[in-house]
């Protein structure tokens, strides 16, 4: 599952702040966080940059278990 909320909170952003940073609306961020929608592939690099993580991190692949 995509971990946008976890990384957003680590950065100290509200949904609105993240939305403004990546030029989306807050409702879209909320949908991504609850899993009812997913970011478009072309938005993933911008999202990862804004959250100071990799795309793999967003999908839980960057963590050592």
Token digits of residue 64: 């050592």
What are the CA-CA distances from residue 12 to residues 36, 40, 41, 64 (Å)? 23, 23, 24, 23
The C-alpha angle with vertex 21 and arms to 30 and 31, in degrees rounded to 5, equals 10
HEC per residue, 1-49? CCCHHHHHHHHCCCHHHHHHHHCCCHHHHHHHHHCCCCCCHHHHHHHHH
Domains of the chain: 4-58 (1.10.260.40)
- Model pTM? 0.88
pLDDT, tens digit (0-9, with 9 covering 90-100), for 6-60: 999 999 999 999 999 999 999 999 999 999 999 999 999 999 999 999 999 999 8
């Amino acid at each position: 599952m995509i971990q946008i909320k976890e990384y957003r909170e680590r950065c100290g952003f509200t949904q609105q702040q993240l939305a403004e940073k990546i030029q989306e609306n807050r409702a879209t961020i909320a949908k991504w966080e609850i899993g009812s929608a997913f970011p478009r592939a072309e938005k993933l690099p911008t999202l990862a940059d804004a959250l100071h993580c990799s795309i793999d991190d967003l999908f839980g692949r960057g963590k050592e278990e």
